[in-house]
Each structure stands twice: as structure tokens, then as C-alpha cells.
């Protein structure tokens, strides 16, 4: 029987399983930095949306202020050119109304301008924070790529050794082992240990099963877990 050689194949398989698991373990620092970048980008997007809305309000107020100033000047000019006292008084009243509205609008616009200045500074700060984070993230991404490449190189090397070793095992036995291994989450071959216990499920084996394993005439499987049994030589 080729069970000792099959055990060596399984040792390679378990190492390859471990490397696959290792490959998928992304460093927490990289995960945290990527999350921080996404958070910053989301905050910037929200703040820039608020910037746009505030800018529209300020622009609308400034346009209205400009229009009111022109109308106030026009009313003042008309009052000067008026041919009667009554007509002059009417234009003066219009000028006063425009002046009152101008004062109100200027008072309304000032807080908007202050908010705009503060928001611009906040957005600039967030952009600076993001700009500082990008090189840090790029370095972490490169380090992760190097780590994965190193794991992949080890996996390729082990897989080649495993393939070469498996060539010496009969296809039927190898296929049976791989089927059991797949069903048993990685362990297809179990050593009989101690006083006749299955090394896969730790169940005490019947004497006749132990004897069959010792003779090694045929493949013997654990009656409890179904793994292929062998004695280490």
C-alpha cells in the first residue's frame, strides 16, 4: 500500500490549505486605512454638496442685492429729476423701501458668508487629510501585494512538490483520498494512534478494523468518520 506516501501528500495539502487561509487574512491596518479613506471621501462628498447649496443661496442673495442697489439708485435719480414735490416724495419712499430691504438682505447674507468660509476651510482640511492618507494607503496596498505574491510563490512551489509526489500513488487511491478529504474538510487520511484510536475523530476502533489497517492489504476506512486509516511506519 502507498498510505505512507499518501500521508506525505496530505501533509502538503494541509500546508496548502494553511497558505490559502493565510492569503485571505488581510492585515487589519490595511482594512482600517481603506475604511478611513472611504469615510473621508463620503464626508467630503456631503460637505461639497452642502458647499454647492450654500453657494447657490449666497449667489441668489448677491444677485438680489445688486438688483436692489440698482433700483435704489434709479429711485434716487428719479426723485432728483421729479417735476413735482409729490412725485419726488413717491420716489423717495421707493428708495427708502429698497434701502430697508437691502439692509435686511445684507444681514441675512452675512451669516451665509461666514458659514461658507467655515465650510470651505472644513472641506480643505478634509482634502488635506485625504491627501496625507493616500500615500500611506498606497504603501499598505503594495505591502499586501508583496505579501500575497510571496504566499502565492510558496503555494506554487508546494503544489509542484505535491504533484510530483502524488504521481507515485495509484489514481484510484488518490481519487478516494481526495473525495474523503473534501467531505471531511481537509483530513482524508487518519493515523491509527495509541491503543487503536482513529486520529481523525478520536473514536476507539474495533479490533478487527485495527488488524485490517495493520495488514494494509486494502484501503480501510474508519467506521465512525469514514477517513482512510493507516499506521505510521
Non-local (6+) Cβ contacts of 119 within 8 A are 47, 50, 51, 54
Q: What is the pLDDT of residues 180-233, one digit of tens each?
A: 999 998 999 999 998 899 999 999 999 999 999 999 889 999 999 999 999 987
Domains in the chain: boundaries: 24-166, 171-230
The fold adopted by the segment(s) 24-166 is: Helix Hairpins (1.10.287)
Q: What is the pLDDT of residues 102-141, one digit of tens each?
A: 999 999 999 999 999 999 999 999 999 999 999 999 999 9
User: CA separation (Å) from 29 to 26, 59, 126?
Assistant: 9, 44, 21
Distance CA 11, CA 8 (A): 5
218: DSSP letter = S
Per the CB < 8 A criterion, the answer to whether 137 and 33 are in contact is: yes
Confidence of residue 1 (pLDDT cuts 50, 70, 90): low
C-alpha cell at 214: 495493520
The pLDDT of residue 25 is above 70: yes
Alpha helix ranges (H) inside 82-206: 85-166, 171-183
Amino acid at each position: 500500500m502507498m498510505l505512507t506516501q499518501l500521508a506525505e501528500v496530505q501533509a502538503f495539502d494541509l500546508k496548502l490549505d494553511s497558505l490559502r487561509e493565510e492569503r485571505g487574512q488581510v492585515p487589519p491596518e490595511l482594512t482600517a486605512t481603506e475604511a478611513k479613506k472611504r469615510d473621508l471621501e463620503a464626508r467630503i462628498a456631503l460637505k461639497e454638496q452642502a458647499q454647492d447649496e450654500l453657494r447657490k443661496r449666497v449667489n441668489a442673495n448677491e444677485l438680489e442685492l445688486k438688483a436692489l442697489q440698482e433700483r435704489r439708485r434709479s429711485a434716487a435719480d428719479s426723485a432728483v429729476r421729479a417735476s413735482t414735490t409729490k412725485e419726488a416724495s413717491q420716489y423717495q419712499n421707493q428708495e427708502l423701501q429698497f434701502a430697508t430691504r437691502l439692509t435686511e438682505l445684507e444681514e441675512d447674507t452675512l451669516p451665509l458668508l461666514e458659514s461658507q468660509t467655515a465650510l470651505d476651510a472644513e472641506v480643505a482640511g478634509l482634502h488635506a487629510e485625504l491627501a496625507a492618507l493616500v500615500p500611506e494607503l498606497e504603501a499598505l496596498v503594495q505591502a499586501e501585494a508583496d505579501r500575497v505574491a510571496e504566499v502565492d510563490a510558496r503555494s506554487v512551489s508546494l503544489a509542484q512538490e505535491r504533484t510530483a509526489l502524488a504521481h507515485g500513488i495509484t489514481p484510484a487511491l488518490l481519487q478516494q483520498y481526495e473525495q474523503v478529504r473534501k467531505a471531511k474538510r481537509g483530513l482524508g487520511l487518519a493515523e491509527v494512534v495509541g491503543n487503536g484510536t482513529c486520529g481523525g475523530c478520536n473514536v476507539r476502533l474495533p479490533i478487527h478494523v485495527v488488524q485490517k489497517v495493520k495488514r494494509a492489504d486494502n484501503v480501510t476506512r474508519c467506521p465512525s468518520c469514514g477517513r482512510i486509516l493507516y499506521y505510521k511506519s
